[in-house]
């Protein structure tokens, strides 16, 4: 009997009899199927807390703010002053430190809002649709993009339709959102 016919046993050189070893050909123990374990009451409660949209949104906002803080610190350090040749080393250091502070605070706010809005929109959409698929993510991305850019929009009403500065017409979704 060849050793590749039965991987659970090994053949020896004396007549081809199989040995009684329970290890596989590679020396690894065979995998055992574990029985299904029901979650404990603590695990169920923790999952219920995390499934709350407010908790999920706040956690995403805090993590987004932390990411923005570190990105701002990194990108703020890369800014060079315009009059770098005329500044002393101390002035350059102070300028860079101030830029890092401004950038990190600005990025912190932007990423915190982005994380909070995206997570809230995705969670609410998922609960309303009772489905977990990519449509929820697309809707959340649209809501987040609209929220982040809404600050710079100049709304005006032309011929009964809301338009943005520049004359482009808004989608019916945004118009309906503004009336509600």
Q: What is the mean pLDDT of the chain?
A: 77
Nearest CA to 65 out of 21, 4, 107 is that of: 107
pLDDT of residue 118: 94
Identify whether the C-beta of residue 152 lies closer than 8 Å to the C-beta of residue 110. Answer: no
Strand 161-164 versus strand 155-158 pairing type: antiparallel
Comparison of pLDDT for 169 and 104, the residue scoring more = 104
Q: Where are the beta strands (DSSP E) in the chain?
A: 155-158, 161-164
Would the pTM count as exceeding 0.75? no
pLDDT at 34: 86
User: pLDDT, tens digit, for every residue of 43-62?
Assistant: 999 998 988 999 999 999 99
Residue 159: band (very low, low, confident or very high) from pLDDT cuts 50, 70, 90: low
Neighbours of 136 (CB within 10 A): 19
Q: Which residue, 117, 109, 177, 116, is CA-closest to 147?
A: 117
For 123-155, write each residue's pLDDT tens digit.
999 999 989 888 889 999 988 888 888 776 666
Residue 75 has pLDDT above 50, yes or no: yes
């Amino acid at each position: 009997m060849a050793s590749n016919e039965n991987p659970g046993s090994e053949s020896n050189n004396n007549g081809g009899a199989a040995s009684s070893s329970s290890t596989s050909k590679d020396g690894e123990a065979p995998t055992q199927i574990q029985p299904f374990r029901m979650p404990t009451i603590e695990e169920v409660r923790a999952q219920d807390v995390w499934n709350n949209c407010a908790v999920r949104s706040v956690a995403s906002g805090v993590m987004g703010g932390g990411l923005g803080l570190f990105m701002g610190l990194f990108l703020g350090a890369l800014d060079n002053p315009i009059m770098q040749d005329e500044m002393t080393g101390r002035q350059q250091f102070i300028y860079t430190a101030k830029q890092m502070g401004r950038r990190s605070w600005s990025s912190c706010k932007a990423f915190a809002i982005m994380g909070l809005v995206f997570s809230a929109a995705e969670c609410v959409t998922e609960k309303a649709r009772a489905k977990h698929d990519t449509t929820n993510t697309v809707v959340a991305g649209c809501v987040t993009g609209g929220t982040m850019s809404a600050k710079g929009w100049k709304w005006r009403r032309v011929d009964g339709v809301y338009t943005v500065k520049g004359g482009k017409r808004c989608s019916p979704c945004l118009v309906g959102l503004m009336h509600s």
